[in-house]
Amino acid sequence: MDVPQAGIGRVTAAAVVMAATLPYLTIKILWLTGHPVGVLDPSLMNSGTMVGLNAMTFGMDLVGLCLALAFTTRWGMRLPAWLVLLPVWVGVALLAQILIALPLTLLLQGPGVFFTGDMLEGWVYLVVYGGFSLQGVGLAVAFALYARDRWPWVFAYGAARTAVPFQHVVGRGSLLVTVIVGGANLYWALGGTAGLDPAAVAARTLTGTITQVVAGVIVIGGAVAYLCLLRGHTPWAVAVAWLGSGYLFAWGLYSMILVVTAGPLTPKAPMVATHLVELFSMLTGLVLGLAGAFLLIERSGGGVVEAAQDPLEGPQREGDREPADAGDR
């Protein structure tokens, strides 16, 4: 198999990702080794929960670095598909929120938004979120170019409407749940208070409001794009459905981890309604992601296995057979 060599665009985007991960990885190494640089309350880093979360996020960024390296090499084109698609699905979704919400927040609040935290010094937020933004852009571009070379059929237009009833059931069911989940985020972003503790309402910030708006739009858009994908294959529908399902799963899972660990990052006020929304987000994203993967496998033709035939031989039919005593003529 002739593996295409990475072009200058893919190499450049991957290099940006690798460079952008280094400051974050350095900060995490310092924190994990007992050097809480930039932390306003160093005692926060001593808890087992924070050590575990720092180790987890360090590992996630390290995976992003390895993926970027893989996108520039020939061996990266030979990796098992799941080993590439799963971390990119989660990573791009996590970074997308920052990539979309951060410019809007800076536009409305200015750079001062980085210096209003109560846990970290302002320069830490600036370095971390600036790095995340570069990672998000670079990873999305590098992966798109990588996928174009490895799975070019995904970028082709035109495909028949899928005839698998299960896919339509999943599509309609996911749209119903995402309308509820996304609608709840939009409702709270617009000032709604139902289901929220008064302490949580009082602690609202513009950054949180923008994040909820972004979440509501992305998850509903992802479910709508999946329904469009069932009716025909278009690259934009694949991209939006990919982003929406990954966003649901990745951020839902992250929120559930914070709830279960009950660490310093977990809201102190009761958040039953928002926790339920995040739980259903995670489950819906998982179902939608799996259904989308099966749909793409079906469209790729990878699930069709035919018996080997001679290159000049057509498909055999029952009426093509001749009696055994036909003899030579």
Judgement on whether residues 119 and 175 belong to the same structural domain of the protein: no
211 in the same domain as 191: yes
| pTM for this predicted structure | 0.84
Q: Identify the band that residue 206 occupies on the pLDDT scale cut at 50, 70 and 90.
A: confident
**In 10 A of CB 194, how many CB atoms?**
8
Would residue 32 count as lying in a domain?
A: yes
Is 63 found in the same domain as 169? Answer: no
Q: What is the mean pLDDT of residues 66-88?
A: 92
- Region 67-78: what's the mean pLDDT? 91
Q: Are 272 and 202 contained in the same domain?
A: yes
Cα 94 to Cα 130, 146, 253, 255, distances in angstroms? 14, 20, 11, 12
Q: Cβ distance 195 to 237 under 8 Å?
A: no
Residue 217, pLDDT > 50, answer yes
Instruction: Please give the helix or strand (H or E) that residue 229 lies within, else none.
Output: helix 206-231
DSSP character at residue 303: T
- Whether residues 144 and 208 share a domain: the answer is no
Is residue 168 domain-shared with residue 137, that is, in the same domain? Answer: no
Q: Return the pLDDT at 303.
A: 40
Top mean pLDDT of 43-52, 206-215, 229-238 is at 206-215
Euclidean distance between CA atoms 70 and 146, whole angstroms: 10
Q: How far apart are CA 192 and CA 201, in angstroms?
A: 9
pLDDT (mean) for 5-32: 93
Are 19 and 107 in the same domain? Answer: yes
Residues 283 and 253 sit within 8 Å (Cβ to Cβ): no
Domain termination residue (choose one: 150, 178, 196): 150
Question: Are 139 and 171 contained in the same domain?
Answer: no
The answer to whether residue 270 is domain-embedded is yes
pLDDT at position 31: 94
Q: For 258-271, write each residue's pLDDT tens digit.
A: 888 876 777 666 67
Q: Do 191 and 126 fall into the same domain?
A: no
Q: Tell me the pLDDT tens digit for each residue of 81-99.
A: 999 999 999 999 999 999 9
Identify the top-confidence range among 44-48, 203-207, 224-228. 224-228
Average pLDDT of the chain to the nearest whole number: 84
Given this model, what pLDDT does residue 159 score? Answer: 62
Burial class (CB in 10 A: 0-12, 13-18, 19+), 144: middle
- Answer yes or no: do 88 and 222 share one domain: no
Q: Is 247 helix (H, G, I), strand (E, B) or coil?
A: helix
Burial of residue 126, with CB atoms counted within 10 A of its CB: 0-12 exposed, 13-18 middle, 19 or more buried: middle
In a 13 Å sphere around the CA of 80, the CA atoms on its Cβ side amount to: 4
Encode pLDDT of 138-186 as tens digits: 999 999 999 988 888 888 776 666 767 888 888 899 999 999 999 999 9
Q: Which domain holds residue 22?
A: 8-150
| 88 inside domain | yes
Number of structural domains found in the chain: 2
Mean pLDDT value across residues 308-317? 40
Domain-located, residue 316: no
26 and 144 co-located in one domain: yes
Say whether both 172 and 297 belong to one domain.
yes
Domain assignment present for residue 327? The answer is no
* Residue 117 pLDDT: 67
